[in-house]
Amino acid sequence: MTHRIVRIHRLGGPEVLALERGEVGDPAAGQARVRIEAIGLNRSEAVYRSGQYLIPPKLPSLMGYEASGVIDALGAGVTGFAVGDRVCVLPNFRMGEYGVYADQAIVPATSLVAPPPGLGPIESASVWMQYFTAFGIVQAGRLELGDFVLIPAASSSVGLAAIQIANWLGAQPIALTRSSAKAEALRAQGARHVVASSECDVAAEVMRITGGRGAKVVFDPVGGPFVETLAKAMSEEGILIIYGSLSGAATPYPHWSAALKGLSLRGWVASQIWNHPARFARFRDLILQGLAGGHLHPVVDKTFPLDDIVEAHRHLESNQQVGKIIVTT
C-alpha cells in the first residue's frame, strides 16, 4: 500500500515541498511505524527547507519533526509500547534521516512518548517542542517569581508557551511583537505587557514598564543586530538567551551593555533538556502537571490538510499566526 509522503528535491520556498506516493516499509530494530494523525509545524523546518539549517539537507530529504498518531508496527527490541498505542513523536532525531510529513512514518522508538492525558491528536502534536523549548527561561534563564522576561516573536507557539510558563512562575512576561496588531491577542494569551518594536524605542519602553529595572531574562529566537537593543533593555546581571536565528543575519556581541551590566549570553535548544534523562523526566512531568492544572494550554492557530502542506508553510512564514500551525492527515 502506498502512502502520502512529503519530500524536498531542491532547496527553496514552500513550493519545493513535494507530496508524493510511496511505500513506507517495515520498521527495523529500535524503530516504530506510526500512522500519523497530526503534524506540528516548526520554524526550523522552514529554515531546513530553504537551505539555511545548521546541517544542510542531503537531497532528496524527508521533512518534519513533530507529530501525533497511532503505532501500527514495532521493530525488534522495542519495549514499553504496543501496536495500537497513541503516541507523540518528539523532535529528537536528525531531520531528513526521518520525517513525519506523511500519513505514515517510521521513527526511532526513542522519539516516542505517550500523549498528555485528555488531549486529542491536534493538541498532542502541539505540545512537546514548544514547551521543552520554552522551559529554557527556567533551565538557562533561572527565571524566578517577580522577574521580568522579554519575549520576542511572542505570538509564535514557543513565545506563547514562554508567556504561560512565566505566568505560572509568577514572573512578568513582556511580549515583543513587530506591531500593535497582535497586542489584544497577546494580552488575551497572558502577556502582562506588549511592546511593538516598530512603534517605539524598545529599550526605553521596557525600562518604563519595569520601573527602570530592565528584563532579567530575554528569550530570543531572532538573533541578528537587534540583540544590541535587547541588551539595552535588560537588568543588571540579566541573561540573554538566543534560541534561533530567524533574522538570517550575524548576531553581534553587545559588548558595552554586557560589560556594564554584567550580562550573560546563552545559546539554547530543546535538546539541552531531552538529551539528559533526568532533566527530561523533570520537565516532562512539569509539562504534564502544567497541562493538568490549567497553567499550560497549547494554542492552535490554524489547521491544514496534508494535501495543503505548501499553503501551511506559506502561512508559517507569513508571521500572521498566533500559536501553533497543525497539519492533519
d(CA 316, CA 301): 10
Instruction: Give the cell for residue 36.
Output: 500519523
Give the residue from 190, 138, 232 showing the smallest Cα distance to 322.
190
d(CA 81, CA 157): 29
d(CA 248, CA 265): 19
Give the residue from 204, 209, 262, 264 showing the smallest Cα distance to 229.
204
Size of the chain in residues:
329
d(CA 263, CA 253): 11
Task: Provide the pLDDT for residue 53.
Answer: 85
In terms of Cβ atoms closer than 10 Å to its own Cβ (0-12, 13-18, 19+), residue 325 is buried
What's the Cα-to-Cα distance from 207 to each of 26, 146, 202, 233, rounded to whole Å? 57, 15, 9, 6
The bridge status of strand 86-89 relative to strand 112-113 is antiparallel
Give the residue from 201, 101, 87, 192 showing the smallest Cα distance to 149.
192
Q: Grid coordinates 499550560 are at which residue?
A: 296
* 8 Å CB contact between 176 and 154: yes
Mean local confidence (pLDDT), 60-66: 96
d(CA 57, CA 142): 35
d(CA 174, CA 230): 12
Task: Provide the pLDDT for residue 54.
Answer: 80
Question: Considering the entire predicted model, what is its pTM?
Answer: 0.95
* 8 Å CB contact between 104 and 142: no
Cβ contacts of 12 within 8 Å, gap of 6 or more:
49, 50, 51
Instruction: Give the cell for residue 318.
Output: 507569513
Q: What is the pLDDT of residues 260-311, one digit of tens each?
A: 999 999 999 999 999 999 999 999 999 999 999 999 999 999 999 999 999 9
DSSP H helices, the chain, are 43-50, 121-124, 128-134, 136-139, 157-169, 183-188, 202-209, 227-232, 255-261, 271-274, 277-292, 309-316
Q: What is the pLDDT of residues 124-176, one digit of tens each?
A: 999 999 999 999 999 999 999 999 999 999 999 999 999 999 999 999 999 99
d(CA 72, CA 313): 28
* 8 Å CB contact between 290 and 296: yes
Please indicate whether residue 315 or residue 248 has the higher confidence score (pLDDT): 315
Task: Provide the pLDDT for residue 163.
Answer: 98
Cβ contacts of 258 within 8 Å, gap of 6 or more:
231, 265
Q: What is the pLDDT of residues 238-251, one digit of tens each?
A: 999 999 988 989 99
Task: Provide the pLDDT for residue 176.
Answer: 98
